[in-house]
Structure 1
C-alpha cells in the first residue's frame, strides 16, 4: 500500500477593496497569487457543487458534444473541459460546443470562480489549474517534452475539492489523464473513461483503464446518464470527515464489512484509521447509488466481485519515482555515508569489500519507491557498487501491485518524474513505456506481506515506510514502529513520510533529520513486552469499540478519577514482573525497596531488590508459581538510610493461571515498628523489647530457610532420579542414532552424486538463461532500431509483439499484447486481414499490397509467415513500408509535366496574361502582354499595376482586389488599359484568385483580351 499526503484545510482568499488596500495588504497579496486583480469580479464559490473535469485529445470534440447533449441544464454540477489544443491557433471549441447544450459555455479567464451548471473550456497555449474553486491560467508547461494538461488539472482538482472531484477521460491518444484519475480516486472522487466501442482513439481511456483507476467505462451518453444519477448522492455533498456519532451508528455494519474483507482477502482493516476507511466505503456506496451501510453489506454478500473492488479502493496505490526529492537528498547526504562508507579494519582503511546492505520498503505499491532507492544507491556508490551486495525488499498486501512491480514496466508519464540522464541510464524504451534495466531489477525483491501480521525482515540498514502509517490507527502504528525497531540493525535508519512521525515511540528512535523525517534506531532501547498489547486483530464487539472510542474523546468519569487519586495516595508501592523475574512495570515509589547494583543494567527483580528482601521475594514468588495463589510475607526486616523498618511483601498472580503466564504483582507494605514489635511478640501491650522482636524474626527466617533448603534437597533428589532415567533413555537413543548415522552416511553419498548432477544441470540452465537474455536483448534492440512498423500476430490473430513505430501507426498500447487484433481500432484499417493471415499460414506464401491510412498516407504492406526454430508456422509478421514519398514523387512528376504544359500554353497564348499581387506589384507578364501594351517584361515587373491604367479605371481595379481578398467571385468585366505610347485600350478582363496552402487568396491572375482602342492621352 502506498499513499498520498493528507489533504490540507483550505479557506477562500478575500481581496482588498481600493478604499482599504493598505489595511488589507496580506489579502491583496493572496489574490495576486491566485491571479485575481482588483478589477476581477469577486463571487462566492458554491461550497456544495461537485466539479467534473473532462479531458480529451484526438476525437474529443465529438465525444464532448455527445456528453453535453445528454446532460440536463440543471444537474447541479460544474464542468471543466481540458482539450489538447494547438498553441498557435485561436480555439473555437467553446463556440462549437455552445450549440450542444443549454448551459452557458465559457472560455476560462484567469481567476474565474466555478459555478454550478456552467461549462468552462480551457484556452489554447496554457495550463489550467484550480485553487479554492477558482480556475487559474498558467503558462504552458512541458515537462521534458510532454504537455499533460489533463493530468495537471485533475491533480489540482483532487487536491482542491477532494471527494467532490469527478474525472472523465474521453477519446485521445497517448496516456494523458491516467495519473490525474489516480489522484482523483485516491482523494475519494469518482472516475469515468470512454469505452472502446465509442472512442475514436482509445489511447487515453485505455491507459487509464489498464492502470485500474476507473470506476465506470461507458459511452459519452451513458456517462452523462450516470452523472445525473449519482449527483444527488450525499457522498458528493458531504466531503468532510464523518462525525463520531456516525461512526458509532455504523460500527456494527462496519464490523460485518471487515469480516467479509478478512474472509475474502485475509487482511483485517479493523484498526485502520476509521474515517479514511468509512470514506472509501461511502465512495463505493456512491458508485452503486446506495445510501445505507447495511444496504452495502448486503451488496457485498450478493456480489463477490465488489469485495475485490472495495479492497482495491482501500489500498491507495498512488506513488511515483523520487517523491519528495528533498528526502532522497537527505538520504544521500546524511544516511548513505554512514551505511556505505564504514571503514574496514582489515583493509587498510579502504572501503569494506563484499559489504551487504539490506533495505526494506513496506507498502511499496507498484515498486517506484524501491526502484528509486536502488537508483540512488547505485548513483552514490559509483564504481564501488560492484563490491557491495545490495538487497532491497519491497512488500505490499496488493498482489496486483506486486506483480506490476516485479515486471518493472511503467508508462510514458514517468518522463515527467525522472531526469533525462536517469531515464537513459536506468530504463529501456519498450512497447508501451519504459522498463527498468535488469541490473536494477535484480537488486529488488518484491513479495506480498502484511506489515502488522506477517514476520518482518531482520538485520536491515534502512526501512523506508513513507505515507503508509497515516492510514493506520494508533495501535497499528505502535505495532509497525516496534516491528521496524526489531527489523533494523543497531544504529540504523528509519525514513517516514512528510506527514508522519514516531509519535509516542520516542524510546525506540532518535530524530536525525526533521525535514526528511529520518530516525535512528536506539540500540539501548528497553526490551518491549507484547504481552500487554491487545491482539491486533482480536474480534471486538460493538460495545467495546464504542467504549474505547468514547474514552478517547469524552471527559473522565468521576468515579474513575476518584479511584485514581485514592490509588495514588494510599496504595502500596510495587512492581509487575514476568515469569523470568524481569520487571515489566513500576508502580509508586519503589526506591526504599529496590537498589540497582553496579555493573550492566538489568531489570531482574532479585538483582534490583535490597539484600534483606531478596530471599523473601524468591520464596514468595516460587510459592505463587507452584500454587497459583497469592502469598503474603509479614514482618520482613529492612534497613534503609540508616533506619530500621518492617516491610510486608505480597505476591499476587496477575492471571488465573500464574504458572502459565507468569505475570505477578509484587506489593511492598511498610509497617510501623511499634505495631510490628507487639505483633511479633504476641503479648499485646505488655510484650518484649525491639531486640526480642528482632530475635523472633530471625528465628522465623531461620525456620523458613530450613524449610526452603529441605524443599530444595527433595527437589534435587527427584531431579537426580529423573536424570538417571533420562540417561538410560539417552544411551538407548545413542545406539539408535549410531544405526541411523550409518544410514545417513549412505544417503549422503547418494545425495553428493545427485548434487553433482544438479550442479551440472544448473550450469547448463544458467548458460542457456544467459544466452536467452542476450538473444532477448538483441531482439529488443533490433525491433527498436528498425525504423519500420512491424506487427507479429499468432495463428489466433492475437498480438504477440510490435515495434514502437507500429505502436504509433496502429494506435497500440502495452496492454494490447495478447489481445486479438480484431479488438483494436487501429489508425490503419487492413481489409480482409483474417482471410489474408490464414491464407499466408496455410499456403506458406507472402502477400503484398498497398493501402492508405485515414489521413491519406500510403503504405506497402507485406505479410509473411512466422517460422519458429523448429521451422513450424506459428503466425505471421506484418511489415508496413512507407511509400508515401514514392507516391508523392509520382504525383510531383505528373504535376511538373502539367505545369510545363500550362507554361507553354501561357507563353503561346494570344491574350495578355498577367499576375498581380494585392499590394499592387506585377508578378508575371507573358509575351502577348508585351505585344498588346508595349511594355517589355522587365519593365512591367518593375512597375505597379495601377501605373498601367488610366485614372477612370483605378476605382474598378481596386474594387476587384477588395472583393477577391474577401473570397468573392468576380465575373469578367470590361475596363481600360494604358499602353507604353499613351493609348487607351478597352479590354475584357477574366480575373482569378490565387490561393496559398491555407486556401487564403494572396494574388490574382488575369486574362485580358483587347476589344478596341478608345483614344490617345
Structure 2
C-alpha cells in the first residue's frame, strides 16, 4: 500500500514538473490536496485512472492544458467584490496615495491574479472617479497579471454580459460601459491604461515600485512555505508607503512584521519598510542590523545579477556539497530546491553533460581553471545544444579557495559558427584557387574587352551618325504626317462628296422613267432601277448578282445575247433594239433597248448598260400616222406641207406629185407662190399673214397652178397654219376646180341662151 502511494506521489510530481516545463507554470507551491483534487476532476472527465496516464494524455493532446488550467486556476471574480472593502479603499487608501504622489507623479497599481479583468477595471473606475478620465489616463498605470491565458484574453476584450455587471453601480455603468448587442464593453480610453500579462507570482520576478497591490484570494491556495516566498515578493514590489489589498479569507498578515493593518476587517495593509537578504536557495528573509542590511542589499543585487544571467552557475563547497544554483542552471539541469545542500556527486549534473567530479578535483588540487569546450547536451523534449563548461576555484578574502564555481555557457551558436567557418575556410581556399585561375582568364578577357571597346567606339560613332539620319528622317516623317493629315482630310471631303454624288445618282436613276440595268463583264446584274422593278416585278435585291440572261422575266433576254457580246468585244454601242415583251401585269409592251458599254478610265468595257424605254404608245402612233400617210398619199386631193418661213414644199402626197408634174425632190426647191402665175411672193405673204398671226384659222382662195409644161389649171386652196408644232408648218389642200368652172360656164351660157 505504501509502495502504491509512493508511486502515485512520484507520478503526480512528474506531472507537475511536465506542466512547468511545457507551459512554464509552477504548481509546486500550491496546496497539494487542493491541487490533486482539481487535477483528478479533469482526469475523471477525460477518463484517465492515474497521474501517469493523464501525463501521457497531456503529451498526446496539448489542447487539454487549457481545460486543466481553467480547472486548477479558479477564476472567481466580479466588479467591486466585497463592496464594503472597496468603500474603505476609496475613503482611506486612494486619498493617501494621491496626497503622497502630488499632482504630477505617476501612480502604479498591480492586480495579481486578475482573472477576466473585473478587478483591474474596478480599480480604473475608482481612480477615474477621483481624478477624472483625462488625468487618470495621464498618471495611472495598472498592471494586471494572471497565469490563465484564456482569462487574460477575455480581460483584454473587456466585454461582459448583463449578469457580469450587476454589481457595477448604475452611474458607473452608464459612464464607463457601452452597451452593444446586449453586452457591455468597458471604455476604450481607460482600457488603454490597463496592461495585461502572464505572470507567476511564485517564480517570476515581481513588478517593482507599486503604490497599490491587490492580491485577493490567491494566498489561500498556496502552501505555507510558498506563502513565505510570495509575501516577501509582494512586500518587495511595493514602494515604502505602498498598500496591499487581500481577500476576506486571507489572514496571513494579521501578525506580520512586513505589513501593518490599515483596515483589518477589509484586509487592507500598509507596507512596513524592511531590509531583505536572500538565502542560498533564493528566498528572501529579514536582515537583523544596519550592517547586515547593507551587506544583504549588496548580496541581493549580486544574486539578482547572477539570476538574470543567461549563463548557468553552480557552486560546490569544499565538502563537495552543492550550495548554489542560479535560475538558468536550475532550469537547464532540473535542479530543484531540495537539491541545494546535497552532495554534488549524487546529482545527475555531476556526469551530464560530461564527467565533472574529476574536473572539480583537478581544480582543487592544482588550483587552476579548467575549460571544457562544446559538450553536447540534450534536455528531454528540447533541441540539442552545445555547452562550454568552465570550472574555476572561488577564493576567500585570505586568498584560500573555499568553493568551486561551475559556469555553463551555451555555445551552440559559436560551435555552429566554428563549423561553418571551417567549411567556409575550405570553400575560401578553393575559391582563392578559382580566383587565381579566373584572374588569368580576366586578363585575357580584359584584352578582348579593350579590342571590343575600340569596336564599340567605332560603332558608337556610326550610331551617332545613324541617330542624326533618324532625326532627319523623323522630321521628314513629321512633314509627311502633316501632308497625310491634309490628304486624309481631303479624302474625307471627297468621300463625303462621293457619297453625295452617289445618293444624287441613285435619286436620278430612281426618278428616270426608263429602265436602267447595269451588267458587269460577266453579264451579271449590278444595278436595277425602280422602273425595272415596277415593269418586270423583281426587286433590285432579288436580281443583284444574278446572270441577266438567266432571268425569267417578260423580256426575251436571249435576243440580247448577241448585242451584249458585240458591246463587250467592240467596246462600242450598238444600234437600239426594239423587242416585244410582257410586263408583270401580263400587258404587251414594246421596248426600245439602247445598249452601251460600261467604260472606265482605261476605256475598256467592264460591262454593259441597258436603257429600256416603253415605246408601245409611240409605236401605235407611228403605225397610225403611217396609216394616215397611206390614206393621204393615195388621196386624189393634193396635200402640200410648206415651210412656214420660205413657203417651200416640204412634203406632198402622191396626187400632188402627179398633178403638179414635179417630183418631191424638185418640189423641195420650189415655193408654192412660184407655181402661181397670178400671185407674187409679196401678195402671197399678205394672203397668209392672217394665218401666221393667228387672226384666222383657215384661208380659202381660188388661184391657178402652172405645170412644168406651162399649162395652168384652176385650183381652190384651203390653208391652215400649225405654229405650235416644231418646226411650225403651213398645210395647204388643193382641189382642182376645172370641172366646176366648166359646169358653171355651161350654166351661164344656158341662161344666156334662154334669155
Which structure's CA Rg is the greater one? 2
Same fold (TM over 0.5): no
Higher helix share: 2
TM-score range, shorter-chain basis?
A: 0.3 to 0.5
Q: Which has the higher contact order (CA 8 A, sep 6+)?
A: 1
User: Normalised by the size of structure 2, how large is the TM-score?
Assistant: 0.37
User: Normalised by the size of structure 1, how large is the TM-score?
Assistant: 0.28
